[in-house]
Amino acid sequence: MRTNLTREMCRYRVLDHLWAGWWRGSAVCAARRVGGFGAEARHQSHPRGSSKRSRSLGNQPFPGLLQPENLSREELIDVLRASVVDQKGPLVTLNKPQGLPVTGKPGELTLLSVLPELSQSLGLGEQELQVVQASGKETSGLVLLSSCPQTASRLQKFFAHSRRAQRPTATYWAVTDGIPATSEGKVQAALKLDHVDGVDLVVPVKSPSRKHILEGVKRTLSYFRVVATGSGCALVQLQPLTVFPSQLQLHMVLQLCPVLGDHRYSARVGTVLGQRFLLPAESTKPQRQVLDEALLRHLCLTPSQAAQLPLHLHLHRLHLPGPRPRDAPIELLAPLPPYFSRTLQCLGLHQR
């Protein structure tokens, strides 16, 4: 039986000439009318710039996977305009494709670098958009933008206050290679950012001292819940309570269940006689994720295709405050990319 979550996210539309299959379905829901932010959120059956034609997932290994590095600046703006899942008042919500960096070096093509043109394209005039909430380059899903500095500041304060109160506001979905030992729980770890051989890597720190904290070590916390299992993998719901680079990937590695497509940290999980264990982070260099033959068969991938597997980590849901203190919270939803849905289908995930 196919998981309900898979059925929920199966309605996609194809963007014809640019996205070559980067699909979306009903994109955003709101808990109720958002008076201060504009009109009530609504289903958008045909996003801007999309074709009404639909295609099956077919035999493509990664259907809908976008390669932003191959796009011109104008093409990227068109892609982002078509990825808008909701626009109300000063708030604009995107369903960011996997592989698009939010920030980067001067001259690099990033989300931040094209915000002025995107603002013009969306009819915001001189009200330039700024990033309120976004995840990393390899993660797909929701990005929250605002053309109003006061609204952006209010929301950023809300997110910071929620973290201090340990109330999750963001919900991610991940597919993991391996199944966590418990169906739900929390992961706590002190993490630091190291620069090793020209690469920034996150490593855990055992029993951090006050000096460690002053030197940039951060105590991190995430909640997880196993939603579905199948073929030795799991669909996991993740809710971070802190913000740190690659936090969710590291937390799943510490559970001995790296995220599918994690080509940076998955090598830290070793296996001997079917038993998994952690390898020392400091002596384990990043490498392409290695999947066993059975999993490759389930995914219908060759080893060379598996080396290009995108990270299966998606920011699916955001909770925002209502415009007034007594108003109900707002819920924003972003559908899964089609390659993510294909993976769920191939693995035959069943609800636990």
Give 121-158 pLDDT, tens digit per residue.
998 878 899 999 998 999 999 999 999 999 999 999 99
| Residue 263 predicted with pLDDT over 80 | yes
| Residue 17 predicted with pLDDT over 90 | no
pLDDT of residue 294: 96
Q: Which domain holds residue 287?
A: 172-306
In a domain, 134, yes or no: no
CA-to-CA distance for 22 and 66, rounded, in angstroms? 7
In a domain, 201, yes or no: yes
| Residue 41 predicted with pLDDT over 70 | no
DSSP E strand boundaries for 3-129: 84-88, 91-96
In a domain, 349, yes or no: no
CB atoms within 10 A of CB 146: 23
In a domain, 116, yes or no: no
DSSP E strand boundaries for 231-342: 233-240, 269-272, 275-278, 313-320, 330-333
For residues 234 and 176, the answer to whether their CB atoms sit within 8 Å is: yes
pTM: 0.83
In a domain, 132, yes or no: no
pLDDT of residue 197: 76
176 forms bridges with which residues in the sheet? 234, 259
For residues 50 and 13, the answer to whether their CB atoms sit within 8 Å is: yes
In a domain, 256, yes or no: yes
In a domain, 203, yes or no: yes
Q: What DSSP designation does 51 have?
A: -
**Can you tell me the mean pLDDT for 51-70?**
67
Give the count of domains, the chain: 1
In a domain, 225, yes or no: yes
| Residue 45 predicted with pLDDT over 90 | no
CA 97 to chain centroid: 9
For residues 111 and 143, the answer to whether their CB atoms sit within 8 Å is: yes
| Residue 46 predicted with pLDDT over 60 | no
